[in-house]
Amino acid sequence: MKRNGAQIITTLIERQGIDTVTGIPGGANLPLYDALQSSNIRHILARHEQGAGFIAQGMARVTGKAQVCLGTSGPGATNLLTAIADAKLDSIPLVAITGQVPSAMIGTDAFQEVDTYGLTLPITKHNFMARSAAELLKLIPLAFELAESGRPGPIVVDVPKDIFLQETEFDAWPEPWVKPAPDDIPEAKITPIAEAIREAQRPLLYVGGGIIASNSAEDLQTLARKNNIPVTTTLMGLGVFPPEDSLSLGMLGMHGARYTNMALDEADLILAFGVRFDDRATGKVSAFCPNARIVHVDIDPSEISKIKPAHLSIAGDVGQAIRALIPQVDANPRSEWTARIAELKQNFPFEMPPNEDPMQPVNLLAALGNMLNGDTVVSTDVGQHQMWAAQILPFRHPRSFLTSGGLGTMGFGLPAAIGAALGRPHARVVCISGDGSFFMNMQELSILAELNLPVTILILNNRRLGLVRQQQELFYGERYHASQFHNVPDFVALAQAFGIEAFNLGDADDPIAALAKALESPGPCLIEAPIDPMENVFPMVAPGAANSQMITQSGAKA
């Protein structure tokens, strides 16, 4: 059979199970769009390539499978860079296919030419530039294999325009890549960990996004409950352990609960499973879990002992390791340790606001949490609202909380919510944003209206870059500069201009009832919630400080 490069790409991604792609066409990748028109693949026309990258990420985060975004050469590719880097730091499987100027023009500073290969080299798991149409028969399945295998991540395939158009003959289509079952963990690696758990008096499970990527949340819960080991998660691990369980310690680190960070200080064994020792989780590394032995299990061998030296370690699939551990670990009530955890929770609880004002952000999100059902997916942008959501909302299932953890990208929330609604079409999606973050990609409201997706957007509007202002207050002598917006639009009117139903909770007699009504809307809805610009997220660990030195609501160090 004979096909050109564009037809090869289209057929191969379809054979990989891709039914929806998102992107923006341009001169260099128009041949690919011509081929897509004749396929069964649905194309979502983003309004900005960064939005396309985050829409694809939203689909990938809720499905666990690599998704595809498209960009043309030059600015199309550079606009994708932030979404690609975000996927790299959060280990999200993504395949970005970019157009490039014709091969003969590469290196001539041709119109819309940039070195996409060079630009994406440090922010991808792997990248390629196609040199022939025939090479694409190998590159496309390999891109999906690399994106989904081991530690997931983004792959870029840069394709010159002439390669899209070049024809090649071949006998048969290559088989789609199918993820194999993970390798078994040798018993010799498991037994010492089981012995360490048996010997420990105060063990603690410290888990992250690797539990979600390996689909092992249920196994983690079985292990924790069998041996009565308390569980704390990173921001990326929220949803792997139900918050109402007595063993749950919630999120640790910079904005974790005081009792969580205190329990970590008292632990004598840390089981770091599917997690890297991120600075926002550990605080001052030398003071993190000072009395504990470290057991580190992660799919990425480069993470082992990179930040915190491990006493025992496994470089392998964390789900396989947990499943192998369960039969080797004895049932243990751990009465003293669980009693101590209960005591810490009682003596150092999460501090709720002193009043019941429904427009206070913690109160508002607590009310929202009571309205969410088990199928709801929550996305956030980055800032104070992100931390309040992580602290307050009850995430009970993996892939129910989508947020930019490693890169901390403002503008993530709305396009990721769109992707979540596309990837999980029967779920309600709630996007929690701030006015500063929402400015970044609010153009994607156009897609939301066009597709009539069941996405509710809640904007906590303090007319500030909230976390920036908070740090200026606490650490820069209240010298506020470039953290206030002096011209903020009417977000309700803005949404209505796009054809989206919208409310301002500040105008409602009963803000909580208005919020509940908005969540019942069958299509998209935007809710603006004006909040006090001087509200802060507490508790908080100052940058560079130890987790034991948390600043509390009163401003005193814990």
Which pLDDT score is estimated for 489?
Answer: 93
71 Cβ contact partners less than 8 Å away, ≥ 6 residues apart: 23, 24, 26, 29, 49, 52, 77, 79, 80, 96, 97, 98, 99
The residue written with tokens 């009539």 in the block is 452
Which pLDDT score is estimated for 207?
Answer: 98
The helix/strand/coil state of 555 is coil
As a dihedral over the C-alpha atoms of residue 362, residue 364, residue 365, residue 369, rounded to 10 degrees, the angle is 130
486 Cβ contact partners less than 8 Å away, ≥ 6 residues apart: none
Domain 361-537 has CATH 3.30.470.20: no
Q: What is the CATH number of domain 2-169?
A: 3.40.50.970
In the numeric block, which tokens belong to residue 358? Answer: 């429904």
Sorted by where each begins, the domain ranges of the chain are 2-169, 187-347, 361-537
Query: Which CATH number among 3.40.50.1220, 3.30.450.20, 2.60.120.10, 3.40.50.1390 corresponds to the domain 187-347?
Result: 3.40.50.1220
pLDDT digits (tens, 9 = 90+) for 319-337: 999 999 999 999 999 999 9
Fold identical between 2-169 and 361-537? Answer: yes
Q: Are strands 2-4 and 167-169 parallel, antiparallel or unpaired?
A: antiparallel
Which pLDDT band holds residue 271 (cuts at 50, 70, 90)?
Answer: very high
CA distances from 245 to 225, 248, 341, 366, 368 (A): 10, 5, 12, 18, 20
**DSSP assignment string, 402-421:** E---SS--TT-HHHHHHHHH
- Backbone φ and ψ for 272, nearest 5 degrees, come out as -90, 100
CB-based contact 309:336 (threshold 8 Å): no
pLDDT digits (tens, 9 = 90+) for 104-150: 999 999 999 999 999 999 999 999 999 999 999 999 999 999 999 99
Which parts of 49-169 fold into alpha helices (H)?
A: 49-63, 75-89, 116-120, 133-148, 161-165
Which pLDDT band holds residue 401 (cuts at 50, 70, 90)?
Answer: very high
Radius of gyration of the chain (CA): 24
Alpha carbons 56 and 274: distance in angstroms, whole number: 23
Average pLDDT of 82-86? 98
As a dihedral over the C-alpha atoms of residue 333, residue 225, residue 323, residue 234, rounded to 10 degrees, the angle is -120
